[in-house]
């Protein structure tokens, strides 16, 4: 149960599309992310009374821990922060003592664990999403300078060639129209939007005819 | 003398039109395939000019070339707003001729339509780059608005600082969910309507006058 509405605490399964348009129960649009391992902590079990977490904290002190645990949960600002293993002010990351640890340790364990989790479908979706041109620019600029600092590359005449190369490489990877077979096409909308010339005709053999700027007319 | 006066009057009329502050704004109607863009364009054109813009169809990608209707004069509150409407092909990241086969179109025709639809999307994206002054973004309110295409197009429109109205179309259908669209793009005004039935068109025209006038 990785996603939970921060408003009404309704839980959604991993990959659920229900929450994409807001919580169907309360309309809330803020959700916190709870990786599978985190659900083993008493945090979620306390409010739902579900049995799947009984194994983790069988001793009665779990009841006593419920209120601090629950308080600490909403404090995690977002799913991102939890999933990224946000550096925590609490310093003891040892899982071995968790069995007889204090209530606070339970919480620590839950929050430090996600950093070693394997990627789930939601994260995979987010990672495979298309970024905007601006983001690409931002992402493209740091590497050359980082390279310069890290190793003595041949005298840097200027930094732009590296960025240009990267852009060219990206352009090669993301062509504007991919012809899978005649009648089946994949379109890269950002690339189509960015390109100067307007594609006016696709040919059967995979070529396309473009109208170059010099021949543009103001009016059709 | 009369001739000269007439000539002068006609010249002044022409220059007035040329340099009028209310030059028609070119408004692109964008959105995914089958959202009702052509139905809306036809509704606007018919309401104010008596003509249609293009054929409407349940078959996706019926509009495969951008179609323009110029000098559509919309009267609101005693003043007139003149716009050029550009009905664009539905924007998508994949076009597959097999989609057309489901609509009783033979394979050869389906492949041709598919190719033309792809060209149309390329053209629509190009228009968005430099040929429109504002956007009416039409969404089918029975469909999930959280798609890559919608997010990307709205992002592009925002990056261009173009005024945009989001229309939640097909409110006459049972599964219509306006709230979902409002939630998807809370930064923009969402107007519910049924372009097919002509429901809530008054508000649409009010907003067109306000945004693009």
**A185 with B114: Cβ contact below 8 A:** yes
Phi, psi of B166 (to 5 degrees): -105, 125
Residue A132 vs residue B30, higher pLDDT? B30
Helix (H) or strand (E) run with residue B171 in it? none
- Residues from chain A that touch B121, judged by Cβ atoms under 8 A, are 187, 189, 192
Burial class (CB in 10 A: 0-12, 13-18, 19+), A81: middle
Reported residue count of chain B is 213
CATH 3.40.50.300, domain B25-212, yes or no: yes
Instruction: Report whether pLDDT(B195) > 90.
Output: yes
**B155 with A132: Cβ contact below 8 A:** yes
Q: What is the pLDDT of residue B131?
A: 87
Out of A19-28, A116-125, A203-212, B28-37, pick the least confident. Answer: A116-125
Q: Note the pLDDT tens digit of each residue in A62-88.
A: 444 444 444 444 444 444 444 444 444
**B93 with A177: Cβ contact below 8 A:** no
Phi, psi of A174 (to 5 degrees): -110, 75
Instruction: Report whether pLDDT(B94) > 50.
Output: yes
Instruction: Report whether pLDDT(B72) > 60.
Output: yes
Q: Is A184 on the interface with B (CB under 8 A)?
A: yes
Mean per-residue pLDDT over chain B, rounded: 89
Nearest chain A residue (CA) to B65 = A200
Each domain of chain A, given as residue ranges in start order, spans: 3-124, 175-220
Q: Is A205 on the interface with B (CB under 8 A)?
A: no
Which of A35, A107, A105 lies closest to A71 in space, CA to CA? A107
Q: What is the pLDDT of residue A41?
A: 44
Q: What is the pLDDT of residue A46?
A: 43
Q: Note the pLDDT tens digit of each residue in B38-50.
A: 999 999 999 999 8
Considering only CB atoms, which residues of chain B are within 8 Å of chain A?
A: 91-98, 107, 110-111, 114-115, 118-119, 121-123, 125-126, 128-129, 144-146, 148-149, 152-153, 155-156, 159, 177, 179-180, 183-184
Each domain of chain B, given as residue ranges in start order, spans: 25-212
Q: What is the pLDDT of residue B129?
A: 87
Token pair belonging to B200: 């809530």
Q: B159 CA to chain A: closest CA distance, Å?
A: 10
Cα–Cα distance, B25 to B127 (Å, whole number): 14
Q: A14 CA to chain B: closest CA distance, Å?
A: 18
CB within 8 Å of B161: residues ≥ 6 apart? none
Q: What is the pLDDT of residue A167?
A: 53
Contact A199, A208 (CB under 8 A): yes
Q: What is the pLDDT of residue A97?
A: 42
Which of B209, B185, B176 lies closest to B73 in space, CA to CA? B209
Which pLDDT band, with edges at 50, 70 and 90, does A195 fall under? Answer: confident
Per-residue pLDDT averaged across A117-123, rounded? 61
Q: Note the pLDDT tens digit of each residue in B3-17.
A: 555 556 555 555 444
Q: Note the pLDDT tens digit of each residue in A88-114.
A: 444 444 444 444 444 444 444 444 444
Which pLDDT band, with edges at 50, 70 and 90, does B189 fall under? Answer: very high
Q: Is A218 on the interface with B (CB under 8 A)?
A: no
Mean per-residue pLDDT over chain A, rounded: 58
Q: Is A26 on the interface with B (CB under 8 A)?
A: no
Q: Between B92, B110, B122, which is nearest A177 by CB?
A: B122
Which pLDDT band, with edges at 50, 70 and 90, does A131 fall under? Answer: low
Q: B78 CA to chain A: closest CA distance, Å?
A: 32
Burial class (CB in 10 A: 0-12, 13-18, 19+), A1: middle
Go through B100-134 and write b for each residue having 16 or more CB atoms within 10 A of its CB, e for each that does not: beeeebeeeebbbbbbbbbbbbbbbbbbbbeebeb
**B119 with A182: Cβ contact below 8 A:** no
Listed ranges A83-87, A164-168, B82-86; the one with the highest mean pLDDT:
B82-86
**Proportion of chain B above pLDDT 70, given as a percent:** 90
Residue recorded with tokens 């070339």:
B65
Per-residue pLDDT averaged across A31-55, rounded? 52
Which of A206, A183, A179 lies closest to B100 in space, CA to CA? A183
């Amino acid at each position: 149960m990785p996603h939970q509405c921060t408003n009404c605490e309704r839980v959604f399964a991993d990959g659920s599309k229900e929450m994409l348009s807001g919580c169907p129960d309360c309309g809330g649009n803020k959700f916190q992310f709870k990786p599978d391992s985190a659900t083993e902590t008493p945090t979620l079990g306390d409010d739902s009374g579900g049995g799947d977490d009984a194994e983790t904290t069988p001793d009665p002190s779990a009841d006593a821990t419920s209120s601090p645990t629950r308080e600490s949960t909403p404090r995690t600002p977002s799913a991102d922060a939890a999933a990224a293993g946000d550096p925590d002010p609490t310093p003891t990351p040892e899982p071995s003592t968790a069995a007889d640890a204090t209530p606070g340790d339970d919480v620590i364990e839950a929050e430090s664990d996600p950093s070693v989790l394997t990627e789930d479908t939601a994260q995979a979706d987010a990672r495979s999403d298309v970024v905007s041109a601006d983001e690409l620019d931002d992402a493209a600029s740091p590497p050359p300078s980082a390279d310069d600092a890290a190793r003595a590359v041949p005298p840097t005449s200027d930094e732009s060639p590296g960025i240009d190369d990267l852009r060219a490489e990206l352009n090669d990877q993301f062509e504007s129209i991919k012809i899978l077979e005649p009648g089946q096409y994949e379109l890269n909308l950002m690339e189509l939007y960015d390109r100067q010339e307007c594609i006016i005709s696709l040919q059967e053999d995979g070529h396309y005819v473009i109208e170059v700027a010099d021949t543009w007319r103001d009016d059709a | 003398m009369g001739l000269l006066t007439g000539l002068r009057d006609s010249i002044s009329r022409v220059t007035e039109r040329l340099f009028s502050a209310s030059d028609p704004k070119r408004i692109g109607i964008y959105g995914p395939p089958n959202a009702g863009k052509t139905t809306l364009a036809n509704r606007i054109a018919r309401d104010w000019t008596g003509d249609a813009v293009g054929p409407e169809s349940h078959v996706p990608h019926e509009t495969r070339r951008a179609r323009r209707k110029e000098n559509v004069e919309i009267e609101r509150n005693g003043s007139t707003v003149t716009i050029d409407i550009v009905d664009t092909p539905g924007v998508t990241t994949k076009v597959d001729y097999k989609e057309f086969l489901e609509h009783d179109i033979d394979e050869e025709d389906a492949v041709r339509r598919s190719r033309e639809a792809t060209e149309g999307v390329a053209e629509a994206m190009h228009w968005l780059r430099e040929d429109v002054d504002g956007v009416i973004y039409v969404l089918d309110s029975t469909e999930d608005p959280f798609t890559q295409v919608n997010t990307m197009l709205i992002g592009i429109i925002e990056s261009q600082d173009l005024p945009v109205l989001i229309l939640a179309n097909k409110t006459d259908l049972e599964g219509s969910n306006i709230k979902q669209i409002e939630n998807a793009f809370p930064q923009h005004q969402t107007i519910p309507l049924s372009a097919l039935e002509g429901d809530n068109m008054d508000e649409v025209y009010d907003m067109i006058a306000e945004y693009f006038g």
